Amino acid sequence: MRKILLLLLSLLCGVSGYAEVRTVKFRTGSFLPYAEETLPEKIVTTSPNQTVVKYELIDATIIDDGLYEGSKWLRVPSFGLTIEEGTPSLPFRIETFELPVGCDSVSVKSIVGPYFEISMELNGDGVSLNVVNNNSTNRLSVAYELPETSERAELQINNILTGARMVTRSISAADNSVELDTSLFDSGYYVVGVTTEDGQTAQGRFAVVR
């Protein structure tokens, strides 16, 4: 038997605004006082032509980062964390698969399954930002609050993996929210950034699933 390794990036999450260790329940989107984590459910199904490995995450622990103020670690039991300079540290897992003798080629596909979107406030340098995405209606709602010293700011949406800029828009402090159409967005993960004229910022993230 020959073996291949598959690196599974499980979550792409930005977390801010929590000053203590908490447990997040993925099935309900609720944040609770810290409790021992529950191991993810691993389901393996096979057929003559493919093997599918599915992980259902039950909960995770959110921990303050002692090095970067306002940053958090998201710890998932039985998963490691990526360590790449200049990028978020994300939960991952390495899977090993045995290939039948005589199998000279194989394809590996990462599938984004059903998910529960958690609406949460991300606080930057004096800018408050709340991002809620509805995949069924292709509508993205961005609620924001700018500092008293800022009347306008720039809103940008970028694809996290490719860096492609999807939206650039000027927003006003008087409006406090904006609705955007995501029907032309490909499946993937995106970051919403708001920057005021004097450089104060906040970011939020969302996923598009087709």
pLDDT digits (tens, 9 = 90+) for 26-47: 766 677 788 888 888 888 888 8
pLDDT greater than 70 at residue 114: no
User: 92: Cβ–Cβ under 8 A, 6 or more apart, which residues?
Assistant: 7, 8, 9, 10, 79, 80, 81, 82
pLDDT greater than 90 at residue 187: no
In whole angstroms, how large is the CA radius of gyration of the chain?
19
pLDDT digits (tens, 9 = 90+) for 74-103: 888 888 887 776 667 778 888 777 777 777
pLDDT greater than 50 at residue 16: no
pLDDT greater than 50 at residue 50: yes
How many other C-beta atoms are found inside a 10 Å radius of the C-beta of residue 163? 8
User: 47: Cβ–Cβ under 8 A, 6 or more apart, which residues?
Assistant: none
pLDDT digits (tens, 9 = 90+) for 128-167: 778 888 888 889 989 888 888 889 999 999 988 788 899 9
Q: Are 191 and 160 in contact (CB under 8 A)?
A: yes
User: 58: Cβ–Cβ under 8 A, 6 or more apart, which residues?
Assistant: 25, 26, 27, 37, 38, 39, 40, 41
**For 52-56, 101-105, 121-125, 151-155, which range has the lowest pLDDT when averaged over its residues?**
121-125
Pick the closest to residue 190 from 210, 166, 160 (CA basis): 160
Out of 66-75, 150-159, 189-198, give the one with best mean pLDDT: 150-159
**pLDDT band at residue 179 under the 50/70/90 scheme:** very high
At 94, list the tokens. Answer: 């390495």
